[in-house]
A and B are shown apart, each in its own frame.
Chain A
């Protein structure tokens, strides 16, 4: 066991922090945080900053050199990702699509998608969930029918969060209606501008008022996507036909761990402790309240567990070990911890936490209030916590399926 980063890795973290301090100007911050941070959206100043980050070799660290990456270690990637994620910038260049393309894509697909996914030119919108298939994803109804050199797609997708600024949909569709559930599913990389695609916004609890910069899950909008006789060439198929379930799983597993997942769940612990240390509400000092001190310590300890679970996952990835149950465990513990923290904050700061962005008397622009709402998302996206509990015991400990 080894609980420290190497000196080289410590230096890397320090370099990134220095870079951020010197380059993340108020102008860029303003462009990023104007009316809530929408994932994937990059203005001209932010795009310029990304070029500088790329020059340092900090984009796509774990990806192969021939696809625009650095072939560096997963831990290095984690360190860089964490520093940038703390200021609202994503440099992982992944999401759940990229690892799946890397694992199952053709050479042509890899050459086309990976470099552009890393530099942000390509943004994939997740097209998995349907109105009748979220937790039970294998029940999905969206159909893709082979017609010569094309697939014809019909169906409806929901909670496709980046669809309104994505370039492609990373789509799961049924290609064999007679096969048993997950055995008849394929993955297609569908250009967003293909005729027959309609995107309809679904507004989230963060829409009105918009969440302040730094909020976790600040996104004011997700989308429904309707596919009506959408025709795409067969070259859009990722991996083998009817093997899409397994292709998708490769990406989702990696998506559940990592710096951003961890930070989503623990930033509020740091924020509330640092706030309590440096602020009072008139003469009331929560920092001197023994009940609050005890709860803050409890939250902190749980956050450490969250950090250690992420470090365990990173260690396993670094050693090329497959996840047994560890990724799913992280996706139970960390979001539920994050929820507990946002709830605890309400009882530490009381009526102030009702106050949203833009309100008189709101603390830190209402970020704690917006995070309380945001915490609802974290329990349910990318695999709800109850589904994850099923996976922990079924995959890790051989439990029978009860349904």
Chain B
């Protein structure tokens, strides 16, 4: 048991902080909000050079094979910097391919990802945004050596800059043996895909995709036919834990901005930090972000250990959602009216943090998963003990 970051972890975090402080200015963030591509290619190249893209990917494909918790530290700093890069969507798709793709898929795609030459994304969510198999209605039907995809996907990130997209489709009706969902790697330039941009709060590239008779070679199936749902669950768990690190970083920046502002802004003849009505919300914000960070680290650490982690992931996301929204509110109040002004920087983090609270599961969805583990499993709960096999007695 050691919740203090070790030297290597501290070094990764510090290096990332320093690099991004210099490389990712608020000017760049603002420029990318209006940029058609949405990310700076040279920054992406530098990120590849630093080895971040290969950090958690297997060594045989050019990566470093390091734990996800290390990648989490990077994402936390990307969140802290509000870095406009398609890192999260590329990473969770690449991780899915490395874990569930076949050798051909991995050796074609992963080395390119590591070098920064390929951006990836994923398309699972549809009209009903809940992360459940029955919400997936896009269909893929076999046709000779291909599958033909028809359907609509929502909230797809950075599709405009991605070369490949991992798409979840229904291939059969659910049965006792599986959910009838399959995953396909789709070349983003394939004919029949219509991309409709979604104008969103974080001003990032997000799309609605309409698939109209999109043909995908059978060799692009990831995993086994009809057995994609357990893969999606893992993608979502890993993706959610990693998103939490980014959200924690982004919220932490809002806390730091509030603290900095409180110390320099004067009212009634003294810095407003001297007023407890300002100081105490700052204390709460620190406590909340620390809490979200520790829950998230625990979830990632469990995934790294190969331990079940779905409850810990949901604990982290539900807490981060609620508390990061509250951090935004407090930071706003401490800043006063200036926070609402576009040219003041706080909103860059405020909008992004808020957007992240809405992705990959709401607080209600995640608490419902936690409640299921707590209440519907037989036995007695005890803090610190397993959430997957409860005790026979209190």
Contact = CB atoms under 8 A, between A and B. Distances in A.
Interface of A: 1-5, 9, 75, 82, 266, 269-270, 273-274, 276-277, 287, 293-294, 296-298, 300-305, 307-309, 311-312, 314-316, 318-319, 321, 325, 329, 332-333, 386, 388-390, 392-394, 396-402
A237 to B, nearest CB: 35
Contacts of B364: 294
Contacts, number: 167
Contacts of B305: 4
B5 interface: yes
B383 A389 contact: no
Contacts of B381: 270, 273-274, 277, 300
Contacts of B375: 273, 276-277, 287, 293, 296
Contact of B1 (A2, A329, A401): A2
Contacts of A307: 383-384
10 contacts: A1-B4, A1-B69, A277-B374, A300-B381, A301-B318, A304-B383, A329-B283, A393-B280, A393-B282, A401-B274
B394 A274 contact: yes
B240 interface: no
Interface residues of B, number: 49
Given A3-B301, A269-B383, A397 B294 contact: no
Given A3-B301, A301-B318, A308 B279 contact: no
A86 to B, nearest CB: 9
Contact of B371 (A1, A297, A390, A400): A297
B2 A293 contact: no
A329 B5 CA distance: 18
A390 B274 CA distance: 10
Contacts of B298: 3, 308
Contact of B318 (A277, A297, A314): A297
A368 to B, nearest CB: 15
A175 B283 CA distance: 34
Interface in B360-394: 364, 367-368, 370-371, 374-375, 380-384, 394
B4 A315 contact: yes
B156 interface: no
Given A294-B368, A315-B1, A392 B286 contact: yes
Contacts of B4: 1, 312, 315-316, 319, 321
Is chain B's interface secondary structure helix, strand, loop, or mixed overall? helix
B270 to A, nearest CB: 7
Interface string B270-313: 11011110011011101100110011011001100100000000
Contact of A3 (B1, B318, B380, B394): B1
A329 B290 contact: yes
Contact of B279 (A276, A309, A389): A389
Contact of A273 (B286, B297, B315, B374): B374
A293 B371 contact: yes
A2 B287 contact: no
B199 interface: no
Contacts of B370: 297, 300-301
A402 B278 CA distance: 11
Given A274-B394, A297-B318, A318 B2 contact: yes
A294 B362 CA distance: 12
B319 A301 contact: yes
A80 to B, nearest CB: 14
Given A315-B1, A315-B4, A390-B276, A397 B282 contact: yes
A341 to B, nearest CB: 12
- Counting chain A CB atoms within 10 Å of each CB, the highest count among B315, B318, B371 belongs to B371
Contacts of A277: 374-375, 380-381
Contacts of B318: 297-298, 301
A298 B367 contact: yes
B68 to A, nearest CB: 11
A400 B273 contact: yes
B177 interface: no
Interface string B242-281: 0000000000000000010011000000110111100110
A392 B382 contact: no
Contacts of B367: 293-294, 297-298, 301
B358 interface: no
A317 to B, nearest CB: 11
Given A3-B1, A294-B368, A402-B276, 5 more contacts: A270-B382, A273-B375, A274-B380, A294-B367, A305-B294
B173 interface: no
Contact of A400 (B270, B301, B382): B270
